[in-house]
Structure 1
Amino acid sequence: MKRPLISLTALLFYGSVAALSGPEHDFEYYRQRGNQLCQEDRLEEAIEPYKVAVQLQPKNIHAMMDLANAYHMLNHNIEALETYKTILEINPRAITALYNFGFTLKRMGCIEQTLAVYEQVLALKPDYPSARFSRSTLYLTMGDLERGFEEYEWRWKVYNETTQRFNCPMWEGQDLTDHTLLVHAEQGLGDTFQFVRYLKLLKERFPTLTIVLESQNQLITLLTQQPYIDRVIARNEQPPFAHYQIPLMSIPRVVKTTLETIPAQTPYLQIDGPLTQEWKKKLADDHHLKVGICWHGNAQYRTASLRRAVIAKSVTLALLEPLSTIEGVTLYSLQRVTGEDQINECSFKAKMVVFDISFDQQHGRFMDTAAVMKNLDLVITVDTGTAHLAGALNVPTWIMLPFPADWRWLRNRTDSPWYPTVRLFQQTKTGEWEPVIKQIAEKLKTLVAQRTQGASVHPSEPTKQQLQFFKQVVNSAL
């Protein structure tokens, strides 16, 4: 909901006119003041001037929309719903208010109710891109992957982008024998980690296929090591000739993925052998349960709404303190960039292994992270690229999820059809992380006890209990 920046001079003008004139100018001043505060991401402060504007003109649906949208962005869902409802009572065909009403319900986890509202939106305007795209994620959340991925193509219209990045036809399922397919990664790093598995699937179906992947720059080193990708190029690098092209996240649609046919065999990402062995030696003296932690997603998105979404699925490091008190556990920080500043203020910093500034620098982004993960017993993380990397590497992983969670984790599940070694721990109430972390701490204590009973340190031959340890890590969250 981007608005043009309003200058201080304009606000002073509105204020001076309001002091000399009637309520019409008062209204304009308060509405513009609210808009200015929203531009500055001061949403809490914007509520009051918006409310005054609505009081001055109770039938002005534009002012009501400003207020409702501010409530929505603040997660004041009930107030947002009530305000959108008032707009619809004035104008039942106010399609944006109707869509936003549904989207607010979606944010509250009301899947079926949201679907019903979107049906009303699409009855008024069948080609409403946001409703079609948002509905696709509802289908995906419900496990209807075929219908979900089909409608997921509406993302291009929502973001005003094109699938035609290169000068060749789109791949729609044609025979790829002896052909070259140009695939371009899209969205976040975690999306690429999750969906690059489909390139392995295509290589298995068409062994003579040449796959060229245009990737985010941070992932080039790691993805170049994957044997099923013939070449990785950077964004804006001149691509080679190709017979077809396709966005990475469109492949599930073309191959008609269902819950039963997700290519879930892991690991489908490999990491440099010598680097993994190097980290194995470095961590060899730690005989505790080695647990990697990641508490914050990437906050460097360009829009305030995306940054708020990241915050909603992130935790503060301080909340993970209960994990640091468990005997027999060593915590390893896998946090990079956003969130690292919390380490110095952390009360249990001395109990956590924090890698130096060369980590993931000398060998390439995510290279050390991946090599360390392969030498950990468990990764505990929020929903970010780290979670997908660990799952793709077949590392036992516990993911802390907000309520509601992203579509890819479905609903009412503790496992994931995308990653056999992943277990899910979800909020039962939006914003409440303490019960989630308490549950994880209890499961971690159980895991330590199971491990302690299993074997002594450095046995010459692994015991039966040790051979079962990996399975215990995966299943102990159930």
Structure 2
Amino acid sequence: MTMTSYSSAFRPYSAAFSARVLVGWALMAGLLDGLSRGRERRGAAGVEHRGLRASGEPATADLAQGAPAKMPADPFPPEVDTASLMEAAAAMHRQGQFGPASGLYSEVLRRDPSHAEAYHQLGLVAMQVRQPEKAAELFALALGAGPPTAAMYANFGEALMALGRRFEAVGEYTRAIEMQPDLAEAYGRKGDAELALGRVADARLSFEQALARKPGLASAHLGLGGALSAEGRFDAALAAFQAAAALNPSSLAAHFNRGNVLRALGRVDEAIASYDAAIALNPEFAIGHHNRAFCLLQAGRLAEGFAEYEWRAKCPTFEDPRYGLPNRWTGAEDLAGKRLFIFPELFLGDVIQFSRYATMAAARGAKVTLGAPKALHGLLRGLTGEIDLVDEGATPDFDLQAPLMSLPHAFGTTLENLPGVARYISADPARVAKWRERIGPEGLKIGVVWQGSTQPYALPLARSFPLSMLARVGAIPLVRLISLQKVNGLDQLESLPAGMTVETLGDDFDPGPDMFMDTAAAMEACDFVITPDTSTAHLAGALGVRTLVALPYVADWRWLMGRTDSPWYPYMWLYRQTERGVWDGVFAEIENRLWAELA
């Protein structure tokens, strides 16, 4: 899972007018988008309202929970001036009596349709009862009525943020800052908007400006940590999140993001402690459990980790309705003679790695049906045992069912009993013969892959390496580098270092809809495969091909920590960066390994 940022739910601004209660809107990002809205804002649930009219005819609002206040046509004698009405409205507003308060603000506007502060306060009520679109209209009317204030601009920015109009929100926060340069919160929220827009450097500067004005602003430390994380400056980000947690120990966001950064630094035990702190604040915080599970798995605590990973079904983006199917196989039920449906999760590499559990279920007597992307069916027909395949979205009849990634938990997987079989998928024999003949027997044949997915989720993982890193390996006498790369990264073949040669396998190499069929066969025709952490690593491991995997400084959980072997794949060896982003040492070790092979 990629690192994500989780911002606190409400951020109050201070302002001069006694009734001003600006409630900041959450800025959520990535997998966490919308997660807190149903949980951290539970106190506002159930508020009913029929809306506000903003065009010179404000409603006597039905904004409070329960029945609206019943207002006479003209409940106040003329001698009760608008200032007194505003003060009375402010008192009700502070007490959360939104209906009566909005009624009084509306009375002010009935008397004075150009009263900017009444529009402003009605906008705040609309924000508090979750009507950001109406709030934006009211804040615009307040600014139009004038004279504008910094708070009006900042609050307009809040409404725009709630509507996802972040670019416009930056403009409103900027106007607030121009009017009131010491408004630290506006700098912070401007940073939130810039960060959401991907303007990371601008965001960092905004957070720094906020903290220069108000060093104790926890939300700005939180935002700064997010910007520094996006820049890969994890040590500095950790300091920012620690400051946020110290200033606001009840901030779930600070503890969670601190855990994410500690995980990125490889400090897994400390990351677990931070996730524990976040979960203590909200035991139902599913994404916290999810990330904690990955740390437990990375630490080799597989039984705990796979149990904790069951929380994923409650996380955003894990939206497959089949998580709610009845008759879940938990490992306790007898499989003999039962129809077990396994539906797929995550990505191609996960399907390849964990399809071994389908063969284990078949060995227990289950009639297994495995869902998988259609493009993998040709490959997965080579699974050991009798496995029926259906398309990834299908749901056949079943007696028992399980998500693919729940099988390790159901089988009680630990490091001691992990099913690290030497080979559980076989390539098509006819294709193997074809590619053995095409490749030929000469030399030490090394199939190479260098580029993994270029999807947004994958890029921050920094798993791919430049093809040129294999130049010294290719210079070893008798070594032949044979490209198994598909699609992404092929352009690097056109700019190889002088003297470097990489053989390609032609246009008929995996050209059709079936993925990996030729790749698997070509792997079996090679002596080694060198690959980053991508689906081809799992394919080579499942085939039992000798595989050298180049791993980043902090690798995915399945490669555990500090190990040079993989319990999942007996014929796999792991080579890890010792410095973040630096591959030289990795390929020096791989070169030494191959020299030893030829000795």
Give the TM-score category using the shorter length. Answer: 0.7 to 0.9
AA aligned to 1:307 is A
Task: Give the Å deviation of 1:193.
Answer: 1.0
**Structure 1's 14 and 410: CA in aligned 2 closer, same or farther, altered over 3 A?**
closer
In 2, the alpha carbon distance for the partners of 1:65 and 1:154 equals 25
In 2, the alpha carbon distance for the partners of 1:332 and 1:91 equals 55
1:118 corresponds to: 275
**Residue 23 of structure 1: SS of its match in structure 2?**
coil
**Residue 565 of structure 2: SS of its match in structure 1?**
coil
**Residue 371 of structure 2: SS of its match in structure 1?**
strand
Task: Give the Å deviation of 1:341.
Answer: 2.4
Equivalent of 1:242, from 398, 401, 404?
A: 398
Identical positions, percent = 32
Aligned positions of 1:325-474 closer than 5 A: 325-347=475-497, 351-362=501-512, 364-448=514-598, 450=599
In 2, the alpha carbon distance for the partners of 1:349 and 1:358 equals 27
1:475 corresponds to: none
In 2, the alpha carbon distance for the partners of 1:43 and 1:234 equals 40
In 1, the alpha carbon distance for the partners of 2:244 and 2:175 equals 30
AA aligned to 2:253 is T
Q: How many residues align?
A: 438
In 1, the alpha carbon distance for the partners of 2:289 and 2:167 equals 39
Task: Give the Å deviation of 1:8.
Answer: 4.7
Q: Is the 2:358–2:370 Cα contact (8 Å) retained in structure 1?
A: no
In 1, the alpha carbon distance for the partners of 2:561 and 2:203 equals 34
Q: Are 1:282 and 2:438 matched, yes or no?
A: yes
Task: Give the Å deviation of 1:7.
Answer: 5.5
Equivalent of 1:145, from 302, 313, 317?
A: 302
**Structure 1's 144 and 89: CA in aligned 2 closer, same or farther, altered over 3 A?**
closer
Highest Rg: 1 or 2? 2
1:201 corresponds to: 360
Aligned positions of 1:126-141 closer than 5 A: 126-141=283-298
In 1, the alpha carbon distance for the partners of 2:361 and 2:499 equals 45
2:142 corresponds to: none
Task: Give the Å deviation of 1:266.
Answer: 2.3
In 2, the alpha carbon distance for the partners of 1:275 and 1:309 equals 36
**Residue 378 of structure 2: SS of its match in structure 1?**
helix
AA aligned to 2:450 is W
Q: Is the 1:6–1:32 Cα contact (8 Å) retained in structure 2?
A: no
Aligned positions of 1:318-329 closer than 5 A: 318-329=468-479
Q: Is the 2:167–2:197 Cα contact (8 Å) retained in structure 1?
A: no
1:108 corresponds to: 265
Equivalent of 1:190, from 349, 363, 369?
A: 349
1:45-96: CA deviation from partner (whole Å, max 9, x where unpaired): 4322221233234333222221111112222112111111221222111121
In 2, the alpha carbon distance for the partners of 1:417 and 1:433 equals 24
**Residue 298 of structure 1: SS of its match in structure 2?**
coil
AA aligned to 1:150 is A
1:387-412: CA deviation from partner (whole Å, max 9, x where unpaired): 01000000000111112221111112
Q: For the aligned residues, what is the CA RMSD?
A: 2.3
AA aligned to 1:184 is F
Q: Is the 1:179–1:210 Cα contact (8 Å) retained in structure 2?
A: yes
Aligned positions of 1:161-176 closer than 5 A: 161=318, 165=322, 167-173=325-331, 174-176=333-335
Task: Give the Å deviation of 1:9.
Answer: 4.7
Task: Give the Å deviation of 1:167.
Answer: 4.8
Q: Is the 2:166–2:196 Cα contact (8 Å) retained in structure 1?
A: no
Gaps of 5+ in 2: 6-28, 34-160
**Residue 485 of structure 2: SS of its match in structure 1?**
coil
AA aligned to 2:583 is W
1:465 corresponds to: none
In 2, the alpha carbon distance for the partners of 1:78 and 1:313 equals 20
AA aligned to 2:246 is E
TM-score, structure 2 normalization:
0.69
1:453 corresponds to: none
Q: Is the 1:324–1:348 Cα contact (8 Å) retained in structure 2?
A: no
AA aligned to 1:175 is D
Q: Is the 2:447–2:483 Cα contact (8 Å) retained in structure 1?
A: yes
1:78 corresponds to: 235
Task: Give the Å deviation of 1:230.
Answer: 3.2
**Residue 228 of structure 1: SS of its match in structure 2?**
coil
Give the structure, 1 or 2, with the largest relative contact order (CA under 8 Å, sep 6 or more).
1
Equivalent of 1:269, from 406, 409, 425?
A: 425
Task: Give the Å deviation of 1:226.
Answer: 2.9
Q: Is the 2:471–2:500 Cα contact (8 Å) retained in structure 1?
A: no
**Structure 1's 87 and 36: CA in aligned 2 closer, same or farther, altered over 3 A?**
closer
TM-score, structure 1 normalization:
0.85
AA aligned to 2:338 is H
1:309 corresponds to: 460
Q: Is the 1:145–1:257 Cα contact (8 Å) retained in structure 2?
A: yes
Task: Give the Å deviation of 1:368.
Answer: 0.7
In 2, the alpha carbon distance for the partners of 1:227 and 1:377 equals 23
